[in-house]
Amino acid sequence: MATGSSRLRVKHERDITQVEFVDRNILDEANIQQIGEEIAALIDASKEPKLLINFASVDHLSSAALGTLITINNKMKARKGQLRLANIDPQIYEVFKITKLDRLFSIHDNAEAALASFT
């Protein structure tokens, strides 16, 4: 369970940080901003961050959420980190394809595959 008003569920395992979303719909601008800030803090807490973002609970997201994911990706690159996305609903994966962001992100069918892809 999330504590306080966090929008994320966070799990640390070995040197990998796994993140899930509390919200089924990632549409609200204030929530999206908070999600970005919370993940940025997780990235800042690690020297060479390895981050898995699990979309298993997500039904809907908007281009504003994609923007935050891109900002996270840019921050990870600057930190020489590794970012993986997993469990993206087919309808949402279509959004990644339309925007060609499936080329930008490392997207995996499930968490196991994503975890195995970290180097």
Partner 1 sequence: MGWWENVGGGAWGGVGVGGGGTAQRSPMSPSTSPTPDSAVLLIPNQRAEIERAENMLLEAMAARNYPDAARFAVRLALEESLVNAFRHGHRDLPADTPVRVEFAVDDQRVELSIEDQGPGFKPDDVPDPTLDENLERPTGRGLLLMRAYMARVEYIGRGNRVEMTYLRPPPRAASGAGPAA
Q: Where does this chain bind partner 1 (CB under 8 A)? A: 27-30, 60, 62-64, 66-68, 70-71, 73-74, 91, 94-95, 98-101, 103-104
Minimum CB–partner distance for residue 73 and partner 1 (Å): 7
For the chain, what is the total number of helices (H) and then of strands (E)?
4, 7
Given a contact cutoff of 8 angstroms between Cβ atoms, the answer to whether 32 and 21 are in contact is: no
Q: Which residues contact 115 (CB under 8 A, 6 or more apart)?
A: 16, 52, 84
Minimum CB–partner distance for residue 29 and partner 1 (Å): 7
**Nearest CB to partner 1, comparing residues 52 and 61:** 61
**DSSP tag of 101:** T
**Nearest CB to partner 1, comparing residues 16 and 38:** 38
